[in-house]
Amino acid sequence: MLTMPPPPRDLETPGFGAIIRLTFLFVFVHFIGSSLLVSTIGYVIIGRLFGPNGAAASLAGLRGSRGRRRGAAQGLFTQPGEKEQLEFGYCFDVSNRAFFPLYLHLYVVQFLLLPLLTRSPSDFLATFLGNSLYLSALIYYTYITFLGYNALPFLHNTELLLVPILIFAVMWLVSLIAGWGIVMQGHSVKGLFWGV
């Protein structure tokens, strides 16, 4: 009697435990963990660099002034005459809002395009699309982070938060010239599922 060999290990359907581990990994490590890390860094660095006494406040403004763009904020949480300061909760909120387009790019769209993105590493179309997907996700993340901090009237020259976009664009161009794809050679997809 002829019997079929068992399917290869990587083609098996994941079990319930693996799906639960993957869910916890995405929610608690990728989303909450990365948001806590980025918001902590933002809370420590942004307030010191872009605050009223920070290094960016002493720069000549990018718009021709000394960096003071708006009047004092008055709203629900700031009383007139109260000292304005960056709050950790605000940094966490900015990080969470910036994560959503990154999630759509790197979790949803990348998943849908995986058959195309995981072609031969020498395939230029796969390299171009994969690297462009990551470039787009990082640009959205950086821009939404900029918008969040730019809304605060006591931060100066927040336009400097857009500088990483130029760095990402140069890295994208160099990676295309070198033929290095972040999806295949960078093992980004395997990195998303680390620990599962």
Q: Is 195 helix (H, G, I), strand (E, B) or coil?
A: coil
CA angle 40, 71, 80 (to 5 degrees): 80
Instruction: Evaluate if residue 24 carries a pLDDT over 80.
Output: yes
pLDDT of residue 82: 64
* 50-59 pLDDT per residue, tens: 988 888 877 7
Does the residue 73 lie in any domain?
no
Q: Is 2 helix (H, G, I), strand (E, B) or coil?
A: coil
Mean pLDDT computed over 73-78:
50
* 122-149 pLDDT per residue, tens: 789 999 999 999 999 999 999 999 999 9
Does the residue 95 lie in any domain?
yes
Q: Is 61 helix (H, G, I), strand (E, B) or coil?
A: coil
Most confident of 105-114, 116-125, 168-177, 187-196: 168-177
Q: If you average pLDDT over every residue of the chain, what do you get? A: 84
pLDDT of residue 118: 85
Question: Domain count of the chain?
Answer: 1
Does the residue 65 lie in any domain?
no
Does residue 5 or residue 153 have the better pLDDT? 153
Whole-angstrom CA distances from 51 to 55, 64, 78, 142, 155 are: 8, 18, 16, 19, 5
Nearest alpha-carbon partner for 72 in 155, 148, 144: 155
Does the residue 81 lie in any domain?
no
pLDDT of residue 22: 84
Does the residue 168 lie in any domain?
yes
Choice among 11-15, 33-37, 68-72, 148-152 with the minimum mean pLDDT: 68-72
Does the residue 150 lie in any domain?
yes
> What size, in residues, is the chain?
196
| Structural domain span for residue 135 | 24-50+86-193
Does the residue 166 lie in any domain?
yes
Instruction: Evaluate if residue 67 carries a pLDDT over 60.
Output: no
pLDDT of residue 76: 47
Does the residue 64 lie in any domain?
no
* 78-123 pLDDT per residue, tens: 566 567 789 999 999 999 999 999 999 998 999 899 888 887 767 8
Mean pLDDT computed over 53-69:
65
